[in-house]
Structure 1
Amino acid sequence: MGNNEKRRMTLNQLAKELHVSRTTLYNILHEKGAYSEETKKRVYQALEEYNFRMNNHARNLAMNQEYKIAFVGFYSTRFGYFFDEIQAGVERAIETYEDDGLHLITRYSDREEPKRQVQDLIELEELGIENFIIFCYHYEEVSSQIEHLIETGRNVILFSRRIPGLHPLCSVGCNDYQSGRLMQELLEKFSKEGSRVQILVSEHNHRDKLVVGERLKGFYDAMEKSRKKFELLEPAWTSPVPDVERSEIRSVLKDRKPDVILDFVCNLQDAAECLKEYGKGETVLLGYDIYPEVVPFIKDSTIDAVIYQDLPLQSFRAVELMFEYVCYGKKTEKEDYYMPLNVVFAANCEYFESL
C-alpha cells in the first residue's frame, strides 16, 4: 500500500486493518475506557505509519455525536438499475462521513404505493428524525406530508425531482428541461433534414410531469428554433406491461419505419433489439440513461448516443449537502443543484459503464 493511499484511510478502515473494534480505537485515541497496552502500542504505530491526523471525524465520534438523516425513496422492480445507482451513491456517502457521525436511515417503498411512503415519513417523524432526503414519484399524494415536515422545522432536501409549491433547503437532481433541449441538439447533429422522427414514451411513465414532462417540454421548445426541419410522427405511448410493450414497439417501428427513434424513457433496450432484428441501416436511435442491458448496443452503435445523468453522484451530493448543513452549519447556496449531463457514445462508453 502506497503512502498516498495510507493517508486516505478512515478511522473505520483503520479499525478493520488492526482487527480492533471502533469503540476500542476511539477509547485509545481519547484515553478512556479499557484496552490493553499491547493494543494501544499497535494503534499508535499504525497512526504513525498511516500519517493519521486527528480531525472532525475523531472529534464527533469521541463526543458520541451522531447525525441522523433519513433517505426516503421509492423503488421499481422493473428499473432496478436506477435504484442500484442511487444506492451506490448512498453507500459512498456513508463511507465518507460515517466516521464524522453520519447515521443514514434508508426507507424505500414501491413506486406505485405512495401511501406507504407517506407512512414511512410519519413513522420517521415520530422517531424524532429531523433531517430528510426525499424522492417520490406520485408527488401529489406525498407532497402534503413533505410540506408538513418543512413547516414544522424539519430539514428537507428533495432528491431527483423538485415538487411544485414546496420550499425545502434545496433540491438535487437533473435539469430535465435542459436534457430535453440536449436531445433536440443530438437530433440535429445525427439526423438529416426532413427525417421522420418517432418518439417513444412508456405508458408506465407518461404521466410523470416532473421528469418526462420536462424532458418533452424542453425538446419541443428547442424544436421550434431548430435549424433543420423534421417530420415528427405521432408519439407512441406504449403499454406498461413489458411483453405487450415490446410487441407494440416492434409494430410501431415496423409499420412507421422512422428514420430517427427518440426514446424518452424506458424503451431503449427494446428499440435496440428491434433494430438488430429488422436491420438498423441508417436509422438513428437516441435515448436516456446507461445501464447493463443497453451497454452492448451503445458499443456496437445500434444506439447512437444516450444522455446520462450521474445518479450515484446525485445521491452522494444530496447526502453531502444535508450532512454538512446539520453537522457544520454549512448552508446550501442554491435552490437547485443540477448534476452534469453527459452524452455517451460508442467511443466513450467504457468510461461510464462501470459508474
Structure 2
Amino acid sequence: MSNNTKNRMTMNQLAKELNISRTTLYNIMHQKGAFSEETEKRVFKALEDYNFRANNNARNLAKHREYKIAFVGFYSMRFKYFFDEIDAGIERALADYEDDGLQIIKKYSDRENPGQQIIDLKELDEQGIENFIVFCYHYEYVYPQIQKLIEKGKNVMLFSRRIPEVQPLCSVGCNDYLSGELMMELLHKFAPEGSRVQLLISEHNHHDNLVVGERLAGFYDALPKSKKRFEILENAWTSPVPEEEKGEIRRVLEERNPDVVLDFVCNLEYAARYLEERGKQNTVLLGYDVYPEIVPYIKNSTIDAVVYQDLSSQSYKAVQLMFEYICYGKRMKQENYYLPLNVVFASNCVYFECSDME
C-alpha cells in the first residue's frame, strides 16, 4: 500500500484491515470499553504503520454530529474529463473527513440549464441545508438565488468561477488572468520573432467573462511586455457544435496558415489532428488543460505545451475549507484561494496523466 493510501485511510478501512469492528477500533483509540491486550497492540502498531490521521472524530462521534455540505454544480458531456476530475477531488475529501461526520450532497445539472441549478438551490435550502459550494456557468441567471442564500445566513462558497455580484465566504479555483499571462510567456518561449499567431475560441465562450474573458485579458495585457513582436491574427470564434467546429478549425488553419495556434477553450484535439495530418508539426500549438484525447499529441510534441489546472485539488480544497469552517470554526484567511498552475509538455506529461488516461 502506498504512502498516499495510508495517509487517506479512514476508520472503516483501518478496522477492515485489522479484521476488527469499527467500535472496537474506536474504543481502543480512546481507551474506552473492553478489549484484549493483543488487539490493543495490533491497533496501535497499525496506527503508527499507516500514519493514521489524527482528527476530531471522537468529539463528533460522541455527539453523533453530521456536517452536510451541498456541492451544486453543472456538467457537460463534451468535457466529461473536467467534471470527472472535480468529482474525484470531492470523493477524496469525503474519504478523508467522513469519520468526522462529513456528508456531501451532490447536485449536478446540464450546463445549459441554469434553471435547474436554481431549483436545486431552492430545494436544498428548503431541506434545511446550511452549507453550499456552488459551481455555475450561466451565473447571470443563478446569482440572485445565491445572493438570497447568503442573505439568509447560509454558508456559501464559490467554486472555479467567481461571480462579481456575490460576496461569498470565499472562492476556490485558479487565477484565470494569470493563466492568460502564462500563455503569453509560453508564446514568447516557443515562437520566433514575427510569428503569425492564431487564437481559437469556441463561440459559446464568446461572452464568458469569468474564465475565457480573464484568460484573454491576461494574455493581451502581457503581450506588449514581450521583447518579441508577433502578428496576432483575427480571433477565430468557432461553432459550439463539435462537427461544425472541426470543419471551421480546419478551414481557419488552412486559409490563414499561422505559425502559432493558441487554443483558449478545448479545441486542441482538433487542431493537433489537423496539424499532424498535414505534416505541420512545426507549427507551434499551445492550449489549456490535460485530457485523454490530447495526451498522445503532447507526448509526440504536436502540442508543444498546455497550461494545466489541477481540478481535483481545487475541489478537494473547497470541501476541506468549508468542512474545517463549519466543524472546527477555522475561518477562511483569503477571499480567493488560487491553486498553482502547471505547464505540461512532452517530457513531464506522464506526471499529470489521470489514471483513466492511461
**TM-score normalized by structure 2?**
0.92
Aligned-residue offset at 1:182: 0.7
Deviation by residue 1:239-297 (Cα, 9 ceiling, x = unmatched): 11111100110111011100000000020110000101111242100000001111110
Query: What is the identity, as a one-letter code, of the residue corresponding to 2:46?
Result: Y
Where in structure 2 are the equivalents of 1:1-355 lying within 5 Å? Answer: 9-18=9-18, 22=22, 26=26, 44-51=40-47, 55-354=55-354
Aligned-residue offset at 1:61: 1.8
- Percent identity between matched residues is 67
Alpha-carbon spacing, 1:203–1:43, altered in 2? closer, same or farther (3 Å): farther
SS at match of 2:228: coil
Alpha-carbon spacing, 1:42–1:110, altered in 2? closer, same or farther (3 Å): farther
Aligned-residue offset at 1:337: 0.4
Aligned-residue offset at 1:55: 4.3
Alpha-carbon spacing, 1:281–1:74, altered in 2? closer, same or farther (3 Å): closer
Give the Cα separation in 2 of the matches to 1:307 and 1:195. 20
Alpha-carbon spacing, 1:104–1:281, altered in 2? closer, same or farther (3 Å): closer
Is the Cα contact below 8 Å between 2:65 and 2:101 reproduced in 1? yes
Identify unmatched segments of 5+ residues in structure 1. Answer: none
Aligned-residue offset at 1:24: 6.7
Aligned-residue offset at 1:203: 1.3
Alpha-carbon spacing, 1:231–1:6, altered in 2? closer, same or farther (3 Å): closer
Alpha-carbon spacing, 1:103–1:214, altered in 2? closer, same or farther (3 Å): same
Give the Cα separation in 2 of the matches to 1:328 and 1:269. 45
Query: What is the identity, as a one-letter code, of the residue corresponding to 2:43?
Result: L
Aligned-residue offset at 1:58: 2.9
Is the Cα contact below 8 Å between 1:70 and 1:133 reproduced in 2? yes
Deviates more, 1:40-49 or 1:311-320: 40-49
Give the Cα separation in 2 of the matches to 1:126 and 1:13. 35
Is the Cα contact below 8 Å between 1:7 and 1:51 reproduced in 2? no
Query: What is the identity, as a one-letter code, of the residue corresponding to 1:88?
Result: A
Deviation by residue 1:155-198 (Cα, 9 ceiling, x = unmatched): 11100011002110100001001110111111111111111000
Aligned-residue offset at 1:62: 2.7
Alpha-carbon spacing, 1:136–1:40, altered in 2? closer, same or farther (3 Å): farther
Is the Cα contact below 8 Å between 1:3 and 1:50 reproduced in 2? no
SS at match of 1:199: strand
Alpha-carbon spacing, 1:59–1:289, altered in 2? closer, same or farther (3 Å): same
SS at match of 2:106: strand
Aligned-pair Cα RMSD in Å = 2.4
Alpha-carbon spacing, 1:267–1:286, altered in 2? closer, same or farther (3 Å): same
Aligned-residue offset at 1:206: 2.2
Is the Cα contact below 8 Å between 1:26 and 1:62 reproduced in 2? no
Deviation by residue 1:276-331 (Cα, 9 ceiling, x = unmatched): 11112421000000011111100100000000001001000000100010010000
Query: What is the identity, as a one-letter code, of the residue corresponding to 1:317?
Result: K
Aligned-residue offset at 1:237: 0.6
Alpha-carbon spacing, 1:113–1:42, altered in 2? closer, same or farther (3 Å): farther
Alpha-carbon spacing, 1:273–1:331, altered in 2? closer, same or farther (3 Å): same
Give the Cα separation in 1 of the matches to 2:36 and 2:125. 41
**TM-score normalized by structure 1?**
0.92
Is the Cα contact below 8 Å between 2:8 and 2:95 reproduced in 1? no
Aligned-residue offset at 1:63: 2.0
For this pair of structures, how many residues does the alignment match? Answer: 351
Is the Cα contact below 8 Å between 1:204 and 1:240 reproduced in 2? yes
Is the Cα contact below 8 Å between 1:69 and 1:132 reproduced in 2? yes
Is the Cα contact below 8 Å between 1:298 and 1:305 reproduced in 2? yes
Give the Cα separation in 1 of the matches to 2:265 and 2:3. 46
Deviation by residue 1:83-129 (Cα, 9 ceiling, x = unmatched): 01001111110111111111111110000000000111011111111
Alpha-carbon spacing, 1:348–1:144, altered in 2? closer, same or farther (3 Å): same
Alpha-carbon spacing, 1:127–1:223, altered in 2? closer, same or farther (3 Å): same
SS at match of 2:59: helix
